[in-house]
Amino acid sequence: MDLANYRTSLVKFQSLIALVLLCIVLSIVSDKFLTVDNTWNVMRQISVNICISVGMTLVILIAGIDLSVGSVLALCGAITAGLLKNGIPIQSSNLYIGFTLLGAILVGLIVGSLLGLFNGWTITRFKVPPFVATLAMLTIARGLTMLWTKGFPISNLGDSFDYIGTGWFLGIPLPVWISGIVVIIAVVITKKTVLGRYIYAIGGNESASKLSGININKVKLTVYAIAGLLAAIGGILVTSRLDSAQPNAGISYELDSIAAVVIGGTSLSGGRGTIMGTVLGAVIIGVLNNGLVLMNVSPFWQQVVKGAVILLAVMIDKANSKNE
């Protein structure tokens, strides 16, 4: 293998190499790291980040950004929990509209998709920069969460709902199954469908894509709606795992998901990146978080380390882009 091929392989597998090195170091430093229980614990924890990071990857692939995923996650989780627990009482007609588990989850997912669609609409219709549009949605969704929950957690949601976040199926935690299905669908969309090709095309060169007849607005609307839907799935997983919808859930999740996308090798300027890279990025962040906790590193230092890792990933990405 000549030097150029060796370098290409190194760049291609840089995230995987980083993850393996991280695991080796952590298993040497902590005897609790490489245990079955801890592995499932880490997998369960990163399932939520994987779901929202997959959506974030699609958004970043079209050269956009979605800062609202954390708040959308909180709102959808709260709506699902609220409907499941309290339904909708209509005092004037002495009517109570109750929601089954299926109904509450469906409404949560629909709300997430609609909020994502709204993000896409403001971006495509009014040409609001994605950063600003989704920043506004971050605040709006958080405010709506506070209004819906009145600032209090909604707890005791029932065993069936709790099973989604805490249950096991065929020896694997259910959240891992859910995030796995999300990843498979996203890989198929990006690799095997027309939509996937349009996503890469728009991110690579929006003007050229427009000239070649791609309906850019429609693709963007779809991608933002998918990101909202995946944030809603994340919200339902978090709420179910805690058996409680917390009004402050999901704060800074958008940063974790962007970090997973960037560490996974997706270019912030769009058009380049993979879903599997993002999954690796999310696993790296999850393993790093877990390792730092096991090593009793102060939470303040944990943030510093995470920030440094993200910075390093972006610098490597830039260096790679320059060399291509």
Partner 1 sequence: MAKKLVKYAVVTIICLLLAYNSVYFKKLSDVNAANKSFNATEYAQNYLDQKLIPSIGKMPSTDTLLNLIKTNPSATFDKFSHAMDIGNIRYFITKGSGIITGLDEADVYITTPAHQNIRIATEYVFGNALRDAPGIININDFTNSGDLNNVSSELNKIIRSKVLPPFKSSVKKGDQIEYAGAFELNRQHLNTDSVEVIPFYLKIKR
Task: State the sign of the Cα–Cα–Cα–Cα dihedral 213, 216, 217, 219.
Answer: positive
Nearer to partner 1, 100 or 160 (CB): 100
Smallest distance, partner 1 to C-beta of residue 157, A: 11
Question: Using CB under 8 A, which of 9, 35, 139, 155 touches partner 1?
Answer: 155
Rounded to whole angstroms, the Cα distance separating 55 from 47 reads: 13
Nearer to partner 1, 106 or 216 (CB): 106
Rounded to whole angstroms, the Cα distance separating 185 from 203 reads: 20
Residues in the chain: 324
Rounded to whole angstroms, the Cα distance separating 23 from 36 reads: 14
Judged by CB under 8 A, the stretch of 103-111, 175-183, 232-240, 256-264 that binds partner 1 is 103-111
Which residues are paired to 90 by β-bridges?
Answer: 95
Amino acid identity, residue 14? Q
Smallest distance, partner 1 to C-beta of residue 159, A: 12
Judged by CB under 8 A, the stretch of 19-27, 58-66, 99-107, 192-200 that binds partner 1 is 99-107
Q: Is 110 in the site for partner 1 (CB under 8 A)?
A: no
Return the CA Rg of the chain.
Answer: 20
Question: Using CB under 8 A, which of 6, 96, 131, 168 touches partner 1?
Answer: 96
Residues 6+ apart with CB under 8 A from 283: 19, 42, 46
Residues 245-304, interacting with partner 1 (CB under 8 A): none
Question: Using CB under 8 A, which of 65, 76, 99, 256 touches partner 1?
Answer: 99
Judged by CB under 8 A, the stretch of 82-90, 165-173, 178-186, 289-297 that binds partner 1 is 82-90
Task: State the sign of the Cα–Cα–Cα–Cα dihedral 76, 78, 80, 86.
Answer: negative
Nearer to partner 1, 87 or 180 (CB): 87
Judged by CB under 8 A, the stretch of 63-71, 98-106, 245-253, 312-320 that binds partner 1 is 98-106
Q: Is 143 in the site for partner 1 (CB under 8 A)?
A: no
Residue 212: alpha-carbon gap to chain centroid: 31
Judged by CB under 8 A, the stretch of 104-112, 214-222, 255-263, 295-303 that binds partner 1 is 104-112
- Please identify which residue in the block is written with the tokens 């694997």: 172
CA-wise closest residue to 225 among 70, 59, 80, 97:
59
Smallest distance, partner 1 to C-beta of residue 118, A: 22
Nearer to partner 1, 87 or 204 (CB): 87
* Angle of the 216-242 helix axis to the 174-192 helix axis, nearest 10: 170
Judged by CB under 8 A, the stretch of 44-52, 90-98, 125-133, 303-311 that binds partner 1 is 90-98
Residues 6+ apart with CB under 8 A from 181: none
Rounded to whole angstroms, the Cα distance separating 309 from 319 reads: 15
Nearer to partner 1, 94 or 296 (CB): 94
Question: Using CB under 8 A, which of 90, 188, 312, 315 touches partner 1?
Answer: 90
Nearer to partner 1, 87 or 167 (CB): 87
Q: Is 106 in the site for partner 1 (CB under 8 A)?
A: yes
- Quick one: tokens of 289? 């978080």
- Quick one: tokens of 101? 């588990």
Residues 156-185, interacting with partner 1 (CB under 8 A): 156
- Quick one: tokens of 119? 């993000």
Which residues are paired to 290 by β-bridges?
Answer: none
Q: Which parts of this chain interact with partner 1 (CB under 8 A)? A: 87, 89-91, 94-100, 102-104, 106-107, 155-156
